[in-house]
């Protein structure tokens, strides 16, 4: 739920929301009345820290103006604390000179009003920010809504977000944008040759599935997105500890973000043919559970010895990547919460693996522009070396105390050899402590960066 909105029309009753850099604030405050300066001092407001704000009363005690301090350059999050702080009402943004800045701030304003309200009520107020006529309010609202939906999918408890519900979420989006969806469920995965998805998901009463969405003009270049959809990860027989398992409803974060990117690609009608492949499983335990040391013959024929049943994400991605790569798409991008990247970057940024230097530069640049940071890690042969085992072509998770993100990427690399350009994104997908605009819970990491990167390539 978003309780704030944008408007391109400014009613005369709107309260001015003036955004100033610290130096512009100092100049502005010097010209104000002594009463206003005293008010700032009494409230400990010095106008020096980005994102801080002051609410100025009128003579009769009503709110007459809001001051908010900007970063230099302006940040997406500068206005994001305001929706929680401001009283219900209509505000008009002023003080912004660059259109880019206005768009950024407006998106942050919307995200600052996102709450996950499935099982707990959010704020019951409505807020409107009036922006200039040039500001694309509708596109920004769609973006904020898609980010909110992505976060909500991740935050939804596993009981209410199993493989079937994840497929339903994809079908719902497909309906909105006229895309086609097919789903291969349970034992049909074996008939259709997706053995790894079946092996990981077969021990749950909630059947595993491959969700396959297609959209767009067949003449346009093909972009294939692949998402890891582990709806809950117990670790399987290599059972996780209690603390390690607590957040594992977020293990479908890759799938949620891939769906979010797909939604924005369709919403903005990029000139691509889109395919979205989501491997959806519940990594559970019963007598059918796959075991450490079992060998799975993958979709492409490679044999894989299960090193650890908790390294299930790379297994289910592998069959979907083999299918995706077989069409030789212009771009093949997978989104995953494999765990290795979390240990390196936490929630500050996502990791990227690709052989393509130019694409890596472009995607990292898009990450900078959108404050959705992505950092490249190596596909170095020394990590692939570790995948060797006497019992199969590859070990899914060799015993290695360090370098897990790189080892997982080296494993996935074996399944995308047919794709001319492949990118693997690994991230935590979770905000551990609330920050302005980013409440604790699921986080749509890489969504803004990848969309911007795709828009530049296929505008
Ligand atoms: Zn796992």
180 CA distance to ligand 1 middle (Å)? 30
235 CA distance to ligand 1 middle (Å)? 5
Decide: 312 and 337 in contact? Cβ < 8 Å.
no
**Which pLDDT value is given to residue 161?**
98
Decide: 312 and 229 in contact? Cβ < 8 Å.
no
The DSSP annotation for 10-58 comes to --TTPEEEEEE-HHHHHHHHHHS-HHHHHHHHHTT--S-STT-EEEEE-
Best CA proximity match to 158, nearest among 34, 250, 49: 250
Phi, psi of 212 (to 5 degrees): -130, 110
E strand spans, 337-438: 350-353, 374-376, 394-395, 422-426, 430-431
Burial 228-240 (b: 16+ CB within 10 A, else e): bbbbbbbbbbbee
**Which pLDDT value is given to residue 401?**
83
DSSP bridge pairs for 415: none
Phi, psi of 323 (to 5 degrees): -65, -45
254 CA distance to ligand 1 middle (Å)? 13
313 CA distance to ligand 1 middle (Å)? 6
- Token code pair at residue 338: 């494999």
How many CB atoms are closer than 10 A to CB 386? 18
Tens-digit pLDDT string for the chain (459 aa):
999 999 999 999 999 999 999 999 999 999 999 999 999 999 999 999 999 999 999 989 999 999 999 999 999 999 999 999 999 999 999 989 999 999 999 999 999 999 999 999 988 899 999 999 999 999 999 999 999 999 999 999 999 999 999 999 999 999 999 999 999 999 999 999 999 999 999 999 999 999 999 999 999 999 999 999 999 999 999 999 999 999 999 999 999 999 999 999 999 999 999 999 999 999 999 999 999 999 999 999 999 999 999 999 999 999 999 999 999 999 999 999 998 888 899 999 999 999 999 999 999 999 999 999 999 999 999 999 999 999 999 999 999 889 999 999 999 999 999 999 999 999 999 999 999 999 999 999 999 999 999 999 998
60 CA distance to ligand 1 middle (Å)? 60
DSSP bridge pairs for 297: 303
295 CA distance to ligand 1 middle (Å)? 17
How many CB atoms are closer than 10 A to CB 355? 12
**Which pLDDT value is given to residue 339?**
86
308 CA distance to ligand 1 middle (Å)? 9
Report the C-alpha dihedral over residues 303, 412, 195, 310, rounded to 10 degrees.
100
Q: Which residues are marked as active site?
A: 240, 314
Decide: 52 and 103 in contact? Cβ < 8 Å.
no
312 CA distance to ligand 1 middle (Å)? 5
Best CA proximity match to 334, nearest among 268, 422, 259: 422
Q: Label residue 178 exposed, middle or buried (CB < 10 Å: 0-12, 13-18, 19+).
A: exposed
Task: Please give the distance of CA 326 from its chain centroid, rounded to a whole number.
Answer: 26
Residues contacting 20, CB < 8 A, separation 6+: 28, 47, 67, 68, 69, 70, 95
DSSP bridge pairs for 213: 181, 276
**Which pLDDT value is given to residue 185?**
98
CA dist 102 to 93, 95, 141, 304, 435, Å? 9, 10, 14, 51, 21
The DSSP annotation for 260-271 comes to HHHHHHHHTT-S
DSSP bridge pairs for 229: 280
CA dist 459 to 146, 167, 226, 451, 455, Å? 20, 29, 21, 11, 5
238 CA distance to ligand 1 middle (Å)? 9
CB-based neighbours (< 5 A) of ligand 1, an ion? 233, 310, 312
311 CA distance to ligand 1 middle (Å)? 5
**Which pLDDT value is given to residue 430?**
98
Phi, psi of 356 (to 5 degrees): -95, 105
Name the 3-class secondary structure at 394: strand
Q: How far apart are CA 341 and CA 403, in angstroms?
A: 9
Supply the DSSP symbol for 288: T
Q: Is the peptide bond before 330 cis (omega within 30 degrees of 0)?
A: no
342 CA distance to ligand 1 middle (Å)? 13
Using a cut of 0.95, tell me whether the model's pTM lies above it: yes
290 CA distance to ligand 1 middle (Å)? 13
Spell out the domains of the chain, with CATH numbers in brackets.
4-135 (3.40.220.10), 144-458 (3.40.630.10)
- Token code pair at residue 229: 């959809």
């Amino acid at each position: 739920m978003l309780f704030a909105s944008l408007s391109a029309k400014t009613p005369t009753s709107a309260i001015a929301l003036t955004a100033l850099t610290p130096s512009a604030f100092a100049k502005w405050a010097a010209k104000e009345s002594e009463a206003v300066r005293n008010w700032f001092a009494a409230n400990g407001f010095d106008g020096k820290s980005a994102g801080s704000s002051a609410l100025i009363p009128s003579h009769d005690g009503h709110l007459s103006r809001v001051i908010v301090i900007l970063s230099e350059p302006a940040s997406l999050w500068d206005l994001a604390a305001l929706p929680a702080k401001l009283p219900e009402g209509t505000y008009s943004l002023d003080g912004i000179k660059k259109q880019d800045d206005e768009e950024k701030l407006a998106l942050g304003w919307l995200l600052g009003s996102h709450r996950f309200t499935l099982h707990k009520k959010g704020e019951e107020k409505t807020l409107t920010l009036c922006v200039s006529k040039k500001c694309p309010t509708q596109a920004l609202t769609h973006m904020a809504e898609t980010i909110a939906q992505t976060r909500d999918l991740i935050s939804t408890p596993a009981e209410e977000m199993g493989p079937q519900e994840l497929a339903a979420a994809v079908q719902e989006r497909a309906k909105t944008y006229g895309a086609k969806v097919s789903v291969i469920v349970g034992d049909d995965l074996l008939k259709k040759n997706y053995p790894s998805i079946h092996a990981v998901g077969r021990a749950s009463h909630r059947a595993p599935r491959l969700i396959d969405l297609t959209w767009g003009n067949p003449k346009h270049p093909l972009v294939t997105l692949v998402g890891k959809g582990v709806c809950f990860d117990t670790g399987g027989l290599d059972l996780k500890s209690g603390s390690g398992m607590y957040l594992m409803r977020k293990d479908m974060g890759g799938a949620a973000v891939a769906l979010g990117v797909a939604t924005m690609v369709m919403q903005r009608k990029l000139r691509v043919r889109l395919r979205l492949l989501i491997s959806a499983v519940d990594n559970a335990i019963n007598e059918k559970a796959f075991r450490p040391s079992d060998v799975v013959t993958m979709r492409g024929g490679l044999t894989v010895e299960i090193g650890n049943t908790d390294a299930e994400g790379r297994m289910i991605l592998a069959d979907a990547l083999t299918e995706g790569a077989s069409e030789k798409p212009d771009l093949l991008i997978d989104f995953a919460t494999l765990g290795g990247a979390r240990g390196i970057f936490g929630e500050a940024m996502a990791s990227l693996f690709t052989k393509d230097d130019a694409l890596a530069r472009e995607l990292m640049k898009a990450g900078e522009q959108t404050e959705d940071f992505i950092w490249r890690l190596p596909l170095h042969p020394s990590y692939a070396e570790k995948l060797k085992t006497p019992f199969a072509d590859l070990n899914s998770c060799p015993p290695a105390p360090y370098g897990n993100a790189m080892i997982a990427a080296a494993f996935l690399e074996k399944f995308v050899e047919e794709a001319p350009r492949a990118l693997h994104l690994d991230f935590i997908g979770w905000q551990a402590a609330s920050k302005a605009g980013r409440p604790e819970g699921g986080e749509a990491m890489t969504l803004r960066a990848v969309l911007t990167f795709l828009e530049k390539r296929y505008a």
